[in-house]
Structure 1
Amino acid sequence: MKQICLMLVLAVSSLNVYAQSFQKTQFGVKTVANGNDVEVQFYSPTIVRIIKVPTGKTFIKQSLSVILPPSKTAFATKQTGNVVTLRSNKLSVSVELSTGAVEFSSPTGQALLKEKGNGTKLTPFDDAGASTYNVYQSFTLDKDEPIYGLGQHQRGDLSQRNQKYHLEQGNVEDAVTFFQSVKGYGLFWDNYSPTEFVDDANETSFKSQVGDGVDYYFMYGGTADGVIANMRELTGKVPMFPLWTYGFWQSRERYKSQAELTDVVKKYRELNVPLDGIIQDWQYWGNNYLWNAMDFLNPEFPNGKKMADDVHALNAHLIISIWSSFGPKTKQYRDMDAKGMLFNIKTWPESGLETWPPNMDYPSGVRVYDVYNPAARDIYWKYANEGLFAKGIDGWWMDSTEPDHFNPKPSDYDTKTYLGSFRKVRNAFPLMTVGGMYDHQRQTTSDKRVFILTRSAFAGQQRYGANTWSGDTGSSWENLRKQIPAGLNFSLTGMPHWNSDIGGFFAGAYNHGKYQGAGAKNPSYQELYVRWMQFGAFNPMMRSHGTDIPREIYQFGNKGEPIYDAIDKSINLRYALLPYIYSVSWDVSKNQSTFMRALFMDFVNDKKVWDINDEYMFGKSILVAPVVNAQYTPETVVKVDEQTGWNKQDGKDAPAKAEVDFTTKKSTQVYLPAGTVWYDYWTNEKYNGGQEITRPTTIDIVPLYIRAGAIIPTGPQVQYATEKKWDNLEIKVYPGANGSFVLYEDEFDNYNYEKGAYTEIDFSWNDASKKLTIANRKGSYNGMLQNRKFTIVLPTGENKTVTYTGKKTEIKF
Structure 2
Amino acid sequence: MKRQIHVQAAIALLALMTALPVLAQNAEPAMHGKANPAAVVQRSHVRFTVLTPRIIRMEWSPDGHFVDAPSQVFIDRDQPVPKFTTTTRDGTLHIDTASLSLAYKLGSGRFNAGNLTIHSKGFKTAFDWHPGDVETGNLKGTARTLDRYRGDVQLDTGKQLDLGQGLLSRQGWHLVDDSKSFLFDDSAWRWVKKRTCSDCQDLYFLGYGHHYKKILGDFAKVAGREPMPPRFAFGYWWSRYWNYSDSELRALVKNFERYGIPLDVLVIDMDWHRTDQLSWDPRYVKRDAFGQTVGWTGYSWNHSLFPDPAKFLAWLHSQQLRVTLNLHPASGVPSNETRYPAFAKAMGVHDGKAIGIDTVDKRYMSNLFDIVLAPLRAEGVNFWWHDWQQWPDAKKLPGLSNTWWLNYVFYTHMQNADKARALIYHRWGGLGNHRYQVGFSGDSVIAWQTLAYQPYFTATASNVLYGYWSHDIGGHMFSDDTPEDQRHINPELYVRWMQFGAFSPILRTHSSKEAGLRKEPWRFPPADFTALRQIIDLRYALAPYIYTASREAYDSGVSLMRPLYYAWPNLAKAYDVGNEYMFGDDMLVSPVAQPMKDGVANVSTWLPPGRWYDRNRGDVLQGGRTVTRDYTLDEVPVFVRAGAIVPMNPPSVKKLQDMDNSVLVLRQFPGGTAHTRLYTDAGNSEGYRHGEYAFTAIDGKRDAHTATLTVGPHQGSYPGMPHDKQFTIELPDATLPKSVMVNGKPYTRADDVRPGTWQYDGDALTVRIIVPAQNADQPLKVTVHFADHPVDVAGLRYRMKRTAAAVEWLKYHWNSPAPLPDDVSLAAQLGRLIDYQPEQLPTLVKAFNARLTKLPSEIDQSHADPKVKAHFAQMIKAIGKD
Normalising by structure 1, we get a TM-score of 0.73
Question: Alpha-carbon deviations, 1:42-71, whole Å to 9, x = none?
Answer: 233432112245577876865122211355
> What's the C-alpha RMSD, in Å, of the aligned pairs?
3.8
- Per the alignment, in what secondary structure is the counterpart of residue 141 of structure 2? strand
Does 2:324 correspond to 1:319?
yes
Task: Tell me the distance in 2 between the aligned counterparts of 1:154 and 1:239.
Answer: 23
**Equivalent residue runs for 1:258-337 within 5 Å:** 258-286=246-274, 287-289=277-279, 291-327=296-332, 328-329=334-335
Q: Structure 1 residues 337 and 383, CA, compared in 2 at 3 Å: closer, same or farther?
A: closer
Aligned match for 1:553, one of 517, 520, 537: 520
Deviation for aligned residue 1:493: 0.4
SS at match of 2:272: coil
Contact 1:766 1:772 in 2 (8 A): yes
Query: How big is each residue's C-alpha offset from its partner over 1:275-314, in whole Å with a ceiling of 9 and x where there is no partner?
Result: 1111011132213446533231452222221221121122
Structure possessing the higher radius of gyration over alpha carbons: 2
Unpaired runs of at least 5, structure 1: 1-24, 120-137, 166-170, 195-207, 343-364, 633-660
Distance 1:666 1:629 in 2: 7
Most deviating of 299-308 and 797-806? 797-806
Judging changes above 3 Å, is the alpha-carbon distance between structure 1 residues 81 and 338 closer, same or farther for their aligned structure 2 residues?
Answer: farther
Kept in 2, the 8 Å contact 1:38–1:100? The answer is no
Q: Matches of 1:551 and 1:83 in 2, distance apart?
A: 68
Which residue identity lines up with residue 293 of structure 1 in the other structure?
Answer: G
Alpha-carbon shift at residue 512 of structure 1 (Å): 4.7
AA aligned to 1:590 is D
The structure 2 residue matched to 1:615, chosen from 580, 584, 587, is 580
Q: 1:788 to 1:670 in 2, by over 3 A?
A: same
Whether 1:139 aligns to 2:111 is: no
Structure-to-structure mapping, 1:132-171, within 5 angstroms = 138-141=132-135, 145-149=137-141, 151=143
Shift of 1:268: 0.9
1:648-681 CA distances to partner (integer Å, 9 max, x unpaired)? xxxxxxxxxxxxx8xx23322111112x111111
- Deviation of residue 245 (structure 1)? 0.8
2:428 to 456, 475, 494: 456
Q: What does residue range 116-515 of structure 1 map to in structure 2 within 5 Å? A: 116=130, 119=131, 138-141=132-135, 145-149=137-141, 151=143, 178-182=166-170, 185-190=173-178, 212-220=199-207, 223-286=211-274, 287-289=277-279, 291-327=296-332, 328-329=334-335, 369-400=357-388, 403-405=389-391, 416-417=395-396, 421-422=397-398, 424-426=399-401, 429-446=402-419, 448-464=420-436, 466-507=437-478, 512=483, 514=485
What is the CA distance between 1:627 and its match in structure 2? 0.9
Distance 2:179 2:708 in 1: 52
Return closer, same or farther for 1:211/1:488 CA change in 2, 3 Å cut-off.
farther
What SS does the aligned partner of 1:147 have? coil
Q: Following the alignment from structure 1 to structure 2, what is the Cα–Cα distance between the partners of residues 30 and 179?
A: 26
The 8 Å contact of residues 657 and 684 in structure 2, kept in 1 or not, is answered as: no
Residue type at the aligned position of 2:133: F
Superposition pairs of residues 600-749 of structure 1, within 5 angstroms: 600-631=565-596, 664-674=599-609, 676-717=610-651, 718-722=653-657, 725-749=660-684
- In structure 2, how many angstroms separate the alpha carbons of the residues matched to 1:172 and 1:293? 34
By relative contact order (CA 8 Å, sep 6+), the higher-ranking structure is 1
The answer to whether the 8 A contact 2:594-2:601 is kept is: no
1:758 lines up with 2:693 in the alignment = yes
Amino acid at match of 2:221: E
Q: Please, which of 715, 720, 737 is the counterpart of residue 778 of structure 1? A: 715
Which of 724, 731, 735 is the aligned partner of 1:793?
A: 731
Q: In structure 2, what residue type is equivalent to 1:139?
A: D
- The question of whether the paired residues in 1 share the 8 Å contact of 2:590 and 2:605 is answered with yes
Pick closer, same or farther for the CA change 1:673–1:175 going to 2, 3 Å.
closer
Q: Secondary structure at the match of 2:305?
A: coil
Measure the CA separation in 1 of the matches of 2:70 and 2:691.
32
Report the more deviating stretch, 468-477 or 288-297. 288-297
Partner of 1:679, secondary structure, is: strand
In structure 1, distance between residues paired with 2:69 and 2:161:
27
Kept after mapping to 2: 8 A contact 1:240/1:589: yes
2-structure distance, mates of 1:297, 1:274: 28
Query: Does the CA-based 8 Å contact 2:143-2:428 persist in structure 1?
Result: no
Please tell me the residue identity of whatever aligns with 1:620. D
| CA offsets 1:111-135 (integer angstroms, 9 cap, x no match) | 755554xx5xxxxxxxxxxxxxxxx
Q: Is the 8 A contact 1:461 1:495 kept in 2?
A: yes
Shift of residue 703, structure 1, vs aligned partner = 0.7
Any idea what SS the aligned residue of 2:257 has?
helix
**Change over 3 Å in CA distance of 1:754–1:668 after alignment to 2:** closer
Residues 598, 96 of structure 1: alpha-carbon distance in 2 compared, 3 angstrom cutoff: farther
Letter of the aligned partner of 1:812 in structure 2? T
Indicate the SS of the match to 1:267: helix
Pair 1:795–1:370, CA change in 2 (3 A) = farther
Conserved in 2, the CA contact under 8 Å of 1:583 and 1:745? yes
- Give the 3-state SS of the residue equivalent to 1:425 in structure 2: strand
CA distance in 2, matches of 1:551, 1:89: 57
Pairwise CA distance, 1:473:
1.2
The answer on whether the counterparts of 2:141 and 2:163 sit within 8 Å (CA) in structure 1 is no
Does 2:53 match 1:69? no
Return closer, same or farther for 1:156/1:392 CA change in 2, 3 Å cut-off: closer
Q: Which residue of 2 aligns with 1:49?
A: 57
Q: Answer 1 or 2: which has greater helix percent.
A: 2
Q: Report deviation, 1:371.
A: 2.4
CA shift at 1:397, angstroms? 0.6
Secondary structure of residue in 2 paired with 1:475 = coil
Maintained 8 Å contact 2:342/2:371: no
**Residues 1:598 and 1:336: Cα distance change in structure 2 (over 3 Å):** farther
When residues 341 and 580 of structure 1 are mapped into structure 2, their CA distance, relative to the original with a 3 A threshold, is: farther
Q: Within 2, Cα distance between the matches of 1:325 and 1:110?
A: 50
Please give the alpha-carbon distance, in whole angstroms, between the structure 2 residues aligned to 1:193 and 1:86: 26
SS at match of 2:167: strand
Alpha-carbon contact 1:28-1:41 (below 8 Å) kept: yes
TM-score normalised by structure 2 residue count: 0.68
CA change 1:185–1:766 in 2 (3 A) is: farther
Are the structure 2 counterparts of residues 812 and 551 from structure 1 closer, same or farther at C-alpha, using a change threshold of 3 Å?
same
- Structure 2 gaps, min length 5: 1-36, 183-194, 280-294, 735-765, 785-882
Q: CA deviation at 1:467?
A: 0.2
Whole-Å separation in 2 of the counterparts to 1:175 and 1:375: 35
Whole-angstrom CA distance in 2 between matches of 1:489 and 1:470? 14
SS at 1:63's partner residue?
A: coil
How many percent of aligned residue pairs carry the same amino acid? 24
Q: 1:184 to 1:707 in 2, by over 3 A?
A: farther
Residues paired across the two proteins, number:
662
Contact 2:661 2:680 in 1 (8 A): no
Q: 1:370 to 1:55 in 2, by over 3 A?
A: same
* Conservation of the 8 A alpha-carbon contact between 1:596 and 1:618: yes
Q: Which amino acid aligns with 2:421?
A: R
**1:218-276 deviations in whole A, cap 9, x for unaligned?**
23456222122122111212333221111111111134322222221111111111111
| Aligned mates of 1:591, 1:229 — CA distance in 2 | 5
Task: Note if contact 1:600-1:606 (Cα within 8 Å) is conserved in structure 2.
Answer: yes
1:190 is aligned with what amino acid?
A: D
Counterpart-to-counterpart distance in 1, 2:179 and 2:644: 41
Contact 2:298–2:328, Cα closer than 8 Å, also in 1: no
Q: Is the 8 A contact 2:620 2:670 kept in 1?
A: no
CA distance in 2, matches of 1:55, 1:724: 58
Change (3 A) 1:298 1:259: same
8 Å contact from structure 2 (residues 384, 425) kept in 1 = yes
